[in-house]
A and B are shown apart, each in its own frame.
Chain A
């Protein structure tokens, strides 16, 4: 079962990377980062198979905390941008960047 967990986490990470690059919606981009961290957690939990220890648990709990903070800050920034610019389209923000270069 060891390799299967690792392979699953690889597949999930790659799929979330595809979401990250292909989505135009900022909230979905943020969700894809959450999915990446989620798959990373599976890979870290899989490390427990190597040696019996509580260290992977500790790191996963720390990652949970950081993920929650990141989601809160990211969402508040997105809400602000959406209220000011009336859109959460990534193309629009790329256009602004190009225009004010």
Chain B
């Protein structure tokens, strides 16, 4: 019962923060709202019983990525920090969202009813590591390559910019 209450409270925070980002004109306040969404997602992972996914969420999303965004925002001093939203686009995207929900519900329906629900036991970190490095070595290599290439691209972009200036 308490778990359900916490879930509803946290999901309310997540949804209202996301709605706030739509109408917010201040970039920094939007970042704080997005930070709240990431925090509430971490709490949801903890509620699901995926403790280390919650920890990963806190470290990577709420920690690294948000700090990256705030640093990027501060490194653009020339641009104005507030922007208006396009109200016609909101209607358009609402239509697309409704269409998306309808189509994905149709797609999910078959899968959901054919499977039996069961609450998960907690999967140990050792099990996940074994799965990662035994069954998915190529994916791990590809993701590490992507991260490395991203680091090189960012370095070359910003270094090139520095040299040009």
Contact = CB atoms under 8 A, between A and B. Distances in A.
Contacts of A55: 131
A73 interface: yes
Interface string A16-43: 1111111111011011101100100110
Contacts of A64: 56, 60-61
B136 interface: yes
Contacts of B92: 21
Given A31-B30, A42-B41, A72-B150, A18 B22 contact: yes
Nearest to A70: B150
Interface string A41-58: 110011011111111011
A4 B150 contact: no
B78 A86 contact: yes
Contact of A35 (B37, B76, B94): B37
A18 B97 contact: yes
B19 to A, nearest CB: 6
A87 to B, nearest CB: 6
A5 B48 contact: yes
A10 B104 contact: yes
A8 B72 contact: no
Interface residues of B, number: 81
Interface residues of A, number: 69
A19 B21 contact: yes
B101 to A, nearest CB: 6
B89 A21 contact: yes
B7 A15 contact: no
Contact of B21 (A31, A42, A71): A31
B72 A79 contact: yes
Contacts of A72: 68, 150-151, 154
Nearest to A44: B53
Interface string B19-49: 1011000010011001001100100110010
Interface in B3-27: 3-4, 7, 11, 14-15, 18-19, 21-22, 27
B44 A31 contact: no
Interface string B88-119: 01101110111011001000100000011111
9 contacts: A11-B15, A15-B22, A22-B22, A24-B84, A28-B27, A35-B18, A50-B115, A57-B131, A79-B158
